[in-house]
A = this chain, B = another copy of it.
């Protein structure tokens, strides 16, 4: 006990062993433990840690020594509670199994970590039902900002976000006016671009294959709509279950084949599906891309090498994470974010080679 307060002359001040009354403290070394060792007040230790320039050089040394000696690890729960600066940023993504997300998140995390922030992740797994709870759960940790996937949110989520009043970024999707800030690309534009691309190539029959997730549907619909506008009226689509797998691609093409499809250009809403389609088409004795032209979507970079006959849509996933991080950082530093909507665009990468190298 610090003897600084000998208040009261009673041999046993009744609150002397105040510890007993409460619970056992967690046992961890606390700020005041360090303070005791250093022989200063806990406020001074706090300052020495957070704003070293506000204390004497000498105090810095003493405190540093005390910290090393005690093995002190700050308790950010307490710090965050007291200061409302949690240095935590929440992020909700469907999955980590797609490079599009894991790549962005990794860049996002990296940039934020440089500035002392941590990312708290929640995986929504494509079902939008659970989204409300995920956001709730994230918000209950008092993040200073939150990154969401997509631009479609339930009323509950909107209300919750409104309540906490922190910066929000909607990522990977630019299809609607954002709540606050956004970084991504337009799925509509992807659909349009692919439609134009394929029409320009004079393909006979156009088909889109894809899963039922929100953004895949946007691409599909925009694709079909654009085709109609371009005068193609026999385009069709095949819907597959989520998540998209190579196996699903095979099945989809098998089905098309059974239905008599022998020549077509197929827009696959995921690279996995695309590979499945290619494999199945070849197994059925068709030539890719001569008979069946395939265009994929995503960032399965390996695709570029393994299947030169696949044209694919490439997204700069790192840019998404980096932009998002920087937008948060600017905002949290109190600066104006000059560009609140960042379109990272996409590229249609066409392989020239008609031969698989594998």
| Chain A residues near B (Cβ < 8 Å) | 26-29, 71, 73-78, 80-81, 84, 86, 95-97, 99, 102-103, 105-106, 109-110, 113, 118-123, 125, 136-137, 139-142, 159-160, 163-165, 246, 272, 275, 278-279, 282-283, 300-302, 305-307, 356-358
Contact = CB atoms under 8 A, between A and B. Distances in A.
Contacts of A140: 73-76
A102 B96 contact: yes
Contacts of A283: 357
Contacts of A279: 305, 357-358
Given A29-B163, A164-B73, A306-B275, A109 B97 contact: no
Contacts of A86: 77
Contacts of A71: 159-160, 163
A285 B120 CA distance: 49
A273 to B, nearest CB: 12
Nearest to A301: B246
Across the A-B interface, give the 6 residue pairs with the lowest CB-CB distance, nearest first: A96-B102, A356-B358, A76-B140, A306-B306, A77-B81, A77-B77
B142 A77 contact: yes
Nearest to A104: B96
Nearest to A136: B73
Given A110-B123, A121-B121, 10 more contacts: A28-B163, A71-B159, A73-B164, A96-B96, A96-B106, A106-B123, A110-B125, A118-B122, A275-B305, A279-B358
Contact of A302 (B109, B120, B136, B275): B275
A307 B95 CA distance: 26
Contact of A73 (B121, B163, B301, B305): B163
Contacts of A306: 275, 302, 306-307, 358
